[in-house]
C-alpha cells in the first residue's frame, strides 16, 4: 500500500460560525479559530477542515459563494486566513478548505453579468433554458425542494437551473472558459499553502438536460433532480482534468462529497484516482429513506448499520482509500442518531468513538463530537437557520403531518443540530461568545457538556485523545492506519467485531452496541487489552470477554 501523508492524518472539521467568536459579534470567525489552535494541537489532530469562509450572502451557510477570492467580512479578512494557515502549519496542522464549484451565488459577478446582458459571454457560464408551454423546462425538484428552475425577471420565457436554492445557480461545466476560471481559483488557494479541499456536490457538475414532464415522485408533482445530474457519463473527463491541473501537482488531500457506485470507485479513489478519498453516506444517512425525506423513518436496524459500515470498509480498502466519519455540518449529532435517548451517556459515546476511529481510513472528527455534544431542542421553527430544515418542515406538512409532528421530525434530523455553538465552558454562551445574542442558540446542556469540565482521564474528550494517539504514535499506529480490515461474523447483530492486521501484528476490536450485558469468545492469541471504555475489563476462564452495556474493547496479540 502506498504511504501518503493524508492517510496518516486525523482531521477536525470546523463550522466557523459556531466554533469561536473572537470579536464579540455573536458569530464565530477566523481569529477565533486561531485562538483555539493550541486546543486542536493538544487534541492531536493534524488537519483542520474549515467550512466556507468565502464572501457570501449566506443563503445556504456559505455554500453560496459570491467571491471565491475573498473572505467574508463576518469571518475576518484574507490576512486573517493567511495568518491561520501559517500558525497552524507551525503547530503541524494543515488547513483544508471547502471547494464549491458546482454553483455560485446569484450575487456572484458572473451571474449578475449574465442577467444584465443575455448576449454576454457570462450567459453561457450558467444553464439557461426557455420554458415550455408557460411552465419551467421540466418538473425537476431541487435538493432543497420546489422547482429546480427559477424564472428570470424581465425576460418573458427564460429560466435558470439551480440544483440547490434559487440563489445558487449551477455553473455550466460544458464551457471551457468556466473550467479554466475555476482551475485558476483552485490553484490560487493551493499556492497559498493550504493542504487541500473537501469538495462539495462535485458529482452534480455534469447535467443531462431534458425538457419534458417526468413522472412525479412526491406530493408536489415534481421529480428528484438527482437522476439527471448525479455522476452522469462523461463526468470522469472533467474530474481527471481538475485533478491533473490542480490537486496532483500540489500533492493535495482531497475528500469529495461523492456517492460513487462500487464498480466505479477505483476511478475516484484508486492510486491514480480523481480524489484522495470520498465520503460514504450509506451508514450516516441510514436513518433517512431513499426519497430523502427526513420526516419519515427508515426503520434501520443494527444489522443494516453493520452491513453498511463493513461494506464501506471492504470496498474502500480494495479500491483505494476511505474517509471515516459519524457526523458533520450536514448531519445531526451521531449519538442521537445511533443510540436511544435513554442510553446516551459517556460509555455509549466512547463506544461510537472506538467503532469508527479504529477502522481503516482517514478519520474526520466534527467539532464538539470529541466532547459528546448532542442534538439541541429548539422552541419553534423560527429558531432554525438551515434552509433545508424549513423545506423538510413544509414537505412534512404537505405529506399530512400535523404541525407538532412535523416540528418533532425536523427537530430530530435538522442540520442545525450540529451547528449550535461549540461548548467550551460554563460561562456565558458556553465560552463561545461574549455577545448578548449569538447567531444560533447555545444548546441548553452546555453546563454539563463542555471542554473545561472534561479535563480528566475518565472524560469523553480524554478518550478521543487516547484514540488519536493510538493512530498517530506508538507500536500500533502502523496497524491502525495501514492494516487490513477483517470483519468477524457474530450471531448477534449488536456485536460489532473486526480485526486490523498488518504483518504479524493484529488488533481485535469488540463492540457491544446494546444496553445489555454480552459475552464474546476471544481467540487466545488476543491477550492484551490496549484500550477500553470501561475501567475494568477482563477475560474469564473460558477466554470470553464479559461486555457491559455499550462496552468497547481493543485487544492485541502482543
**Cβ atoms of residues 163 and 142 within 8 Å:** yes
Strands, E, within 294-342: which ranges? 323-325
CA distance 19 to 433: 9
- For helices 235-242 and 176-191, the axis angle rounded to 10 degrees is 30
Could you please report the per-residue DSSP string of 124-190? GGB-EEE-BTTB-SS-EEPTTSSBSEEEPTTSTTEEEE-SS-TTSPBB-TTSHHHHHHHHHHHHHHH
Q: Is 170 a catalytic residue?
A: no
Count of other CB atoms within 10 angstroms of residue 397? 15
Count of other CB atoms within 10 angstroms of residue 29? 27
Q: What is the β-pairing status of strands 128-130 and 140-141?
A: unpaired
CA distance 170 to 161: 6
Nine-digit cell at 201?
Answer: 456536490
Q: Is 191 a catalytic residue?
A: no
* Selected catalytic residue, list 21, 98, 200, 293: 200
In terms of Cβ atoms closer than 10 Å to its own Cβ (0-12, 13-18, 19+), residue 208 is exposed
**Cβ atoms of residues 54 and 61 within 8 Å:** no
Q: Can you name the residues that pair with 255 across neighbouring β-strands?
A: 198, 277
Nearby residues of 427 by Cβ (< 8 Å), 6 or more positions away: none
* Selected catalytic residue, list 257, 285, 327, 386: 257
Backbone φ/ψ region at 128: left (φ over 0), alpha (ψ -120 to 50), beta: beta
**Cβ atoms of residues 239 and 162 within 8 Å:** no
Nearest to 255 by CA among 467, 426, 96, 425: 96
CA distance 423 to 425: 6
CA distance 360 to 485: 6
**Strand ranges across the sheet with 158-161:** 128-130, 158-161, 149-151
Catalytic residues: 200, 257
Amino acid at each position: 500500500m502506498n504511504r501518503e501523508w493524508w492517510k496518516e492524518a486525523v482531521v477536525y472539521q470546523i463550522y466557523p460560525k459556531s466554533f469561536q467568536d473572537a470579536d464579540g459579534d455573536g458569530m464565530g470567525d477566523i481569529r477565533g479559530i486561531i485562538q483555539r489552535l493550541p486546543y486542536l494541537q493538544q487534541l492531536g489532530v493534524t488537519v483542520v477542515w474549515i467550512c466556507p469562509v468565502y464572501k457570501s450572502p449566506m443563503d445556504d451557510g456559505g455554500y453560496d459563494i459570491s467571491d471565491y477570492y475573498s473572505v467574508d467580512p463576518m469571518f475576518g479578512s484574507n490576512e486573517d486566513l493567511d495568518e491561520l494557515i501559517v500558525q497552524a502549519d507551525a503547530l503541524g496542522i494543515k488547513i483544508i478548505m471547502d471547494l464549491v464549484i458546482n454553483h455560485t451565488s446569484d450575487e456572484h459577478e458572473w451571474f449578475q453579468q449574465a442577467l444584465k446582458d443575455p448576449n454576454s459571454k457570462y450567459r453561457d457560464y450558467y444553464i439557461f433554458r426557455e420554458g415550455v408551454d408557460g411552465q419551467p423546462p421540466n418538473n425537476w425538484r431541487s435538493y432543497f425542494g420546489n422547482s429546480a428552475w427559477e424564472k428570470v425577471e424581465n425576460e418573458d420565457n427564460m429560466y435558470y437551473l439551480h440544483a440547490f436554492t434559487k440563489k445558487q445557480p449551477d455553473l455550466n461545466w460544458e464551457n471551457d472558459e468556466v473550467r479554466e476560471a475555476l482551475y485558476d481559483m483552485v490553484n490560487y488557494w493551493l499556492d497559498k499553502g493550504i493542504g487541500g479541499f473537501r469538495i462539495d456536490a462535485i458529482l452534480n457538475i455534469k447535467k443531462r438536460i431534458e425538457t419534458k414532464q417526468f413522472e412525479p415522485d412526491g406530493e408536489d408533482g415534481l421529480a428528484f433532480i438527482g437522476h439527471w445530474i448525479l455522476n452522469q457519463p462523461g463526468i470522469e473527463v472533467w474530474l481527471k482534468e481538475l485533478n491533473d491541473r490542480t490537486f496532483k501537482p500540489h500533492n493535495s488531500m482531497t475528500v469529495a462529497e461523492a456517492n460513487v457506485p462500487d464498480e466505479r470507485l477505483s476511478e475516484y479513489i484508486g492510486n491514480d484516482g480523481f480524489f484522495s478519498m470520498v465520503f460514504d453516506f450509506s451508514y450516516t444517512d441510514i436513518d433517512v429513506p431513499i426519497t430523502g425525506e427526513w420526516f419519515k423513518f427508515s426503520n434501520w436496524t443494527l444489522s443494516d448499520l453493520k452491513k453498511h459500515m463493513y461494506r464501506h470498509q471492504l470496498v474502500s480498502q480494495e479500491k483505494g482509500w476511505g474517509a471515516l466519519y459519524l457526523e458533520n455540518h450536514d448531519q445531526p449529532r451521531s449519538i442521537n442518531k445511533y443510540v436511544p435517548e435513554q442510553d446516551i451517556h459517556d460509555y455509549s459515546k466512547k463506544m461510537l468513538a472506538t467503532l469508527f476511529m479504529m477502522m481503516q481510513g482517514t478519520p474526520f472528527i466534527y467539532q464538539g463530537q470529541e466532547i459528546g455534544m448532542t442534538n439541541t431542542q429548539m422552541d419553534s421553527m423560527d429558531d432554525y437557520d438551515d434552509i433545508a430544515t424549513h423545506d423538510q418542515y413544509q414537505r412534512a406538512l404537505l405529506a399530512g403531518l400535523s404541525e407538532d409532528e412535523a416540528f418533532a421530525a425536523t427537530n430530530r434530523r435538522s442540520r442545525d443540530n450540529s451547528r449550535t455553538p461549540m461548548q467550551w465552558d460554563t460561562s456565558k454562551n458556553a465560552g463561545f461568545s461574549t455577545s448578548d445574542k449569538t447567531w444560533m442558540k447555545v444548546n441548553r446542556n452546555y453546563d454539563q457538556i463542555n471542554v473545561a469540565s472534561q479535563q480528566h482521564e475518565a472524560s469523553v474528550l480524554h478518550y478521543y485523545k487516547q484514540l488519536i494517539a493510538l493512530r498517530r504514535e506508538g507500536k500500533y499506529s502502523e496497524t491502525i492506519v495501514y492494516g487490513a480490515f477483517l470483519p468477524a461474523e457474530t450471531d448477534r447483530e449488536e456485536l460489532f467485531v473486526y480485526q486490523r492486521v498488518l504483518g504479524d501484528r493484529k488488533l481485535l476490536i469488540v463492540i457491544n452496541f446494546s444496553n445489555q450485558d454480552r459475552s464474546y469468545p476471544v481467540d487466545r492469541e488476543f491477550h492484551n487489552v490496549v484500550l477500553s471504555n470501561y475501567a475494568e475489563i477482563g477475560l474469564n476462564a473460558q477466554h470470553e470477554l464479559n461486555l457491559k452495556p455499550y462496552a468497547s474493547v481493543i485487544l492485541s496479540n502482543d
